[in-house]
């Protein structure tokens, strides 16, 4: 039995520019397709974190949640915006392979482009909700400084976490849909083990290191620190987040690559 | 050898689905409680396929449904991984396989073209420069800027095809896409394929239209149950394919009595097709004489027995109908066990599968004693394509005619 191989001997593979071009086209398709027949369009993007914020603000009326001395609305919204980006990215990754079955079954493309396109279109929603956040920051006269240069890093990190988990979900979910069905529950649980609606200072010390294994801790805490406290993200959670994300990517990417050769067979 | 070969397939085996290690699979089966099931191994879609295609060649892949044609194209396109064997491709591969891949229903034709162009690997500038050409090719008119969800299926297909034929590639894989649109559009599409071929592209195509294959492809490969069973010129391959189809049709018709009216007075024991030497055959070479023999018992003396034989092709068209008396055969007072023989001295049947209808009557009382559809079956096999009901060569000539006459 010889080993199976498919080799394309042509000089150039997929050039990077082609990949980017495709990514852009798919993200635009997702966005325009999603909002074309809606009246509010992209404005839906900030309704989602806004509603969550209102819900949690009401919750705070019953339960005492500390907010590090910041107005709770601002405290929670500054975290809910990146959280929503992450949650939307992750949930768009899951079905991205199945939704693009028609393309995947016919044309050989780097399959990573499909979950990435989901993340890219979630990023546009994120930008929209960022506008409201910026407005709130102006309203509350939050001082900002050079620490804002950390924002792209944090966004990239959130995207990387979503991409690493999303690839696993998309890859495995193509074979067994259960993985995709599990995502909403995962996101819900994840929200409560991340300092979104409560500050990281509420986490008991003995759980702290275990807590840092959640790569979103560094991202969310980083966002809040950078935006509301005008200082660079806390080092410990950030480094932990980067390390865990690197491990996740090292596992999920090769798994996805291996599975992707058989996507066309089962779609 | 050398750079001239753009596709080389060596010992390709393909089975669908994720190759799960045996240990994992049996563990999963154990957990599910069915220890002795082996359903994890699907059937082989391709078995030991070897193929070499040179630059600029046009190869038609022919085969019945489920023979593995589309699977082969998918593996060549790099969409589906080979299970075993080696596939080497030299150059950009562009699969034109059902072209509305990736269309988004809410987007307009123009927006979808940008998307399809990106999927097919064009840069944004290339797409923009090609849009007028594509727009012209699709013939969508004002619909071009309307959401594709409002399109008819033919319009959708034209849109996809319009992009596809404007993509330049080294190797083009075409699967059943010529059936798109009306005759004019089909001709336009074929003309584009010809252009691409002339510019040095290699074309592999799958089509159920044998005529398209015959005229577009120079070479053919016949797949049957995942194996390459014949190859050569496209005409030879199409012929091998038709033979295959006729044989299987003949097998299907064999001993399949579809309709029978019987008076219980006649008993048909056996019917067969015989060749030159009196041997039983199931295949007749086109143009060769053959005979039909029916063994039967007649329960009473018939005053004026009348036998009739019909030959019906696979489409159910009665091709010949012979009645013994009209052919000048009379034999009074027949009864008991006998064998009716009919000999077709000149055979003009087109290639195909046929079945034999047989009837016994008594001409004096005009009673039908036995009528049987599908008493026997046979296939006519020959080098000519199956067209029409009868096959006969004609002599062709073109005579110049002066302008005044």
Q: Where are the domains of chain B?
A: 55-79+92-248, 257-381
Q: Taking the mean position of all CA atoms in its chain, how far away is CA A197?
A: 17
The CATH class of the B257-381 domain is mainly beta
CB B348 within 8 A of CB B286: no
**Is there a domain that residue A52 lies in?**
yes
- Mind telling me how many Å the CA of A138 is from chain B's nearest CA? 38
Q: How far is it, in rounded angstroms, from Cα B159 to Cα B112? A: 9
Candidate from A18, A36, A103 with C-beta closest to B101: A103
Number of domains in chain A: 1
Three-class secondary structure assignment of A7-60 = EECCCCCCCHHHHHHHHHHHHHHHHHHHHCCCCCHHHHHHHHHHHHHHHHHHHH
CA distances from A109 to A13, A97, B211, B310 (A): 10, 12, 33, 57
CB B197 within 8 A of CB B203: yes
CA distances from B234 to A249, B57, B176, B221 (A): 50, 12, 17, 8
Candidate from A2, A7, A175 with C-beta closest to B84: A2
At A1 the pLDDT is 43
Q: What is the CA radius of gyration of chain B?
A: 29
> Which residues numbered 76-105 in A keep a CB inside 8 Å of some CB on B?
100, 102-105
At B181 the pLDDT is 62
Q: Which of A168, A12, A266, A93 is nearest to B79 (CA)?
A: A266
CB B45 within 8 A of CB B203: no
The chain B residue lying nearest A10, using CA atoms, is B91
At A117 the pLDDT is 93
Q: How far is it, in rounded angstroms, from Cα B357 to Cα B377? A: 9
Q: Interface pTM (ipTM) of the complex?
A: 0.79
CB proximity B107 to A under 8 Å: yes
Candidate from A24, A29, A262 with C-beta closest to B81: A262
Q: How far is it, in rounded angstroms, from Cα B177 to Cα B161? A: 8
CB proximity B271 to A under 8 Å: no
How many residue pairs bridge chain A and chain B with CB atoms within 8 Å of each other?
A: 126
| Model pLDDT for residues A247-259, shown as the tens digit of each residue | 999 999 999 998 8
Confidence of residue A116 (pLDDT cuts 50, 70, 90): very high
CA distances from A217 to A202, A221, B70 (A): 13, 6, 48
Look at A37 and B80 and tell me if their CB atoms are within 8 Å: no
The chain B residue lying nearest A8, using CA atoms, is B89
CB proximity A186 to B under 8 Å: no
Yes or no: is domain B55-79+92-248 CATH 3.30.70.600? no
**Is there a domain that residue A8 lies in?**
no
For residue B376, the cross-strand partners are: B356
At B1 the pLDDT is 45
Question: Residue B202 burial by CB count (10 A; 0-12/13-18/19+): exposed, middle or buried?
Answer: buried
Q: Which of A5, A158, A10, A4 is nearest to A84 (CA)?
A: A158
> Which residues numbered 141-180 in B keep a CB inside 8 Å of some CB on A?
147, 170
CB B73 within 8 A of CB B173: yes
Candidate from A14, A37, A265 with C-beta closest to B106: A37
CB proximity B285 to A under 8 Å: no
Mutation for A interface: B115, B161, B172, most A CBs within 10 A = B115
For residue B378, the cross-strand partners are: B354
**Is there a domain that residue A9 lies in?**
no
B178 φ, ψ to 5°?
-80, -10
CB proximity A108 to B under 8 Å: yes
CB proximity B16 to A under 8 Å: yes
Domain of residue A96 covers 17-266
Confidence of residue A11 (pLDDT cuts 50, 70, 90): low
Residues of A in contact with B93 (CB under 8 A): 8, 108
B141 φ, ψ to 5°?
60, -135
**Is there a domain that residue A1 lies in?**
no
Q: How far is it, in rounded angstroms, from Cα A7 to Cα A4? A: 10
The chain B residue lying nearest A174, using CA atoms, is B18
pLDDT tens digits, chain B, 405 residues: what are they?
A: 455 888 999 888 888 877 766 666 666 666 666 555 444 567 888 899 999 999 888 899 998 888 888 889 888 888 888 888 899 888 888 887 666 666 788 888 888 888 888 888 888 888 888 888 888 888 888 888 888 888 887 788 778 778 877 777 888 888 766 566 677 777 777 787 788 888 888 988 887 778 888 888 889 999 998 899 888 888 889 989 988 888 888 888 876 666 677 777 788 888 899 998 889 999 999 989 999 999 988 888 888 888 999 999 888 899 999 999 889 888 777 778 889 999 999 899 999 999 999 998 888 877 888 888 888 899 999 888 878 888 888 899 999 998 865
A40: CB partners within 8 A, 6+ apart: A47
At B284 the pLDDT is 92
At A56 the pLDDT is 82
Candidate from B17, B86, B91 with C-beta closest to A265: B17
CB atoms closer than 10 angstroms to residue B338: 14
Residues of A in contact with B103 (CB under 8 A): 102
Candidate from A5, A37, A107 with C-beta closest to B86: A5
CB B224 within 8 A of CB B63: yes
Q: How far is it, in rounded angstroms, from Cα A77 to Cα B5? A: 61
Which pTM does this prediction carry? 0.79
- Mind telling me how many Å the CA of A199 is from chain B's nearest CA? 43
């Amino acid at each position: 039995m010889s080993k199976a191989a498919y080799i394309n001997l042509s000089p150039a593979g997929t050039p990077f520019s082609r990949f980017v071009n495709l990514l852009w086209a798919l993200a635009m398709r997702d966005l325009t397709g999603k909002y074309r027949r809606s009246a509010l369009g992209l404005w839906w993007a900030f309704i989602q974190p806004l509603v969550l914020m209102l819900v949690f603000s009401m919750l705070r009326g019953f339960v005492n949640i500390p907010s590090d001395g910041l107005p709770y609305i601002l405290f929670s919204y500054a975290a809910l915006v990146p959280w929503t980006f992450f949650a939307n990215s992750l949930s768009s990754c899951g079905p991205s392979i199945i939704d693009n079955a028609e393309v995947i079954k016919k044309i050989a493309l780097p399959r990573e482009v499909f979950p990435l396109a989901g993340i890219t279109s979630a990023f546009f929603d994120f930008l929209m909700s960022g506008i409201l956040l910026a407005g709130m920051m102006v309203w509350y006269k939050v001082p900002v400084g050079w620490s804002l240069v950390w924002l792209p890093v944090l966004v990239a990190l959130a995207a990387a976490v979503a991409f690493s988990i999303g690839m696993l979900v998309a890859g495995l979910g193509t074979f067994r849909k259960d993985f995709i069905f599990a995502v909403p529950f995962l996101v819900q649980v994840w929200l409560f083990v991340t300092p979104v609606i409560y500050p990281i200072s509420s986490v008991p010390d003995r759980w702290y290191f275990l807590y840092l294994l959640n790569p979103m801790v560094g991202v969310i805490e980083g966002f809040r620190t950078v935006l509301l406290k005008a200082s660079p993200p806390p080092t410990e959670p950030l480094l932990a987040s980067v390390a865990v994300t690197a491990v996740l990517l090292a596992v999920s990417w090769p798994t996805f690559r291996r599975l992707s050769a058989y996507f066309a067979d089962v779609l | 050898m050398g750079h001239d070969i753009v596709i080389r397939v060596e010992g390709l085996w393909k089975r669908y689905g994720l190759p799960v290690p045996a240990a994992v699979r049996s563990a999963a089966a154990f957990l599910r409680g069915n220890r002795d099931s082996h359903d994890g191994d699907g059937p082989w879609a391709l078995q030991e396929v070897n193929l070499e295609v040179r630059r600029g060649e046009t190869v038609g892949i022919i085969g019945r449904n489920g023979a593995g044609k589309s699977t082969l194209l998918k593996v060549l396109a790099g969409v589906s991984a080979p299970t075993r064997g080696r596939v080497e491709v030299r150059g950009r591969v562009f699969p034109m396989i059902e072209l509305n891949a990736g269309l988004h229903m809410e987007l307009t034709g123009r927006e979808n073209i940008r998307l399809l162009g990106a999927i097919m690997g064009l840069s944004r500038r290339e797409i923009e420069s090609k849009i007028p050409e594509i727009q012209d090719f699709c013939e969508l008119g004002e619909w071009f800027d309307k959401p594709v969800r409002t399109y008819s299926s033919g319009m959708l297909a034209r849109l996809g095809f319009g992009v596809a034929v404007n993509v330049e590639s080294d190797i083009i894989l075409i699967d059943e896409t010529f059936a798109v649109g009306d005759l004019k559009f089909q001709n336009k599409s074929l003309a584009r394929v010809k252009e691409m071929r002339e510019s040095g592209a290699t074309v592999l195509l799958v089509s159920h239209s044998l005529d398209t294959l015959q005229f577009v492809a120079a070479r053919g490969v016949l797949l049957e149950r995942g194996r390459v069973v014949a190859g050569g010129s496209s005409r030879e391959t199409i012929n091998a394919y038709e033979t295959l189809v006729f044989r299987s049709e003949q097998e299907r018709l064999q001993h399949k009595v579809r309709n029978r009216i019987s008076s219980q007075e006649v008993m048909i024991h056996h019917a067969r097709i015989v060749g030159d030497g009196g041997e039983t055959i199931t295949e007749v070479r086109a143009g060769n004489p053959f005979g039909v023999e029916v063994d039967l018992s007649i329960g009473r003396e018939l005053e004026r027995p009348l036998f009739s034989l019909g030959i019906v092709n696979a489409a159910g068209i009665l091709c010949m109908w012979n009645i013994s008396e009209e052919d000048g055969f009379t034999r009074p007072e027949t009864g008991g066990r006998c064998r009716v023989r009919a000999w077709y001295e000149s055979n003009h049947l087109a290639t195909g599968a046929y079945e034999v209808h047989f009837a016994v009557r008594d001409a004096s009382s005009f009673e039908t004693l036995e009528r049987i559809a599908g008493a026997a079956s046979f296939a006519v096999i020959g080098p000519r394509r199956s067209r029409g009901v009868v096959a006969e060569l004609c002599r062709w000539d073109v005579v110049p005619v002066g302008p005044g006459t």
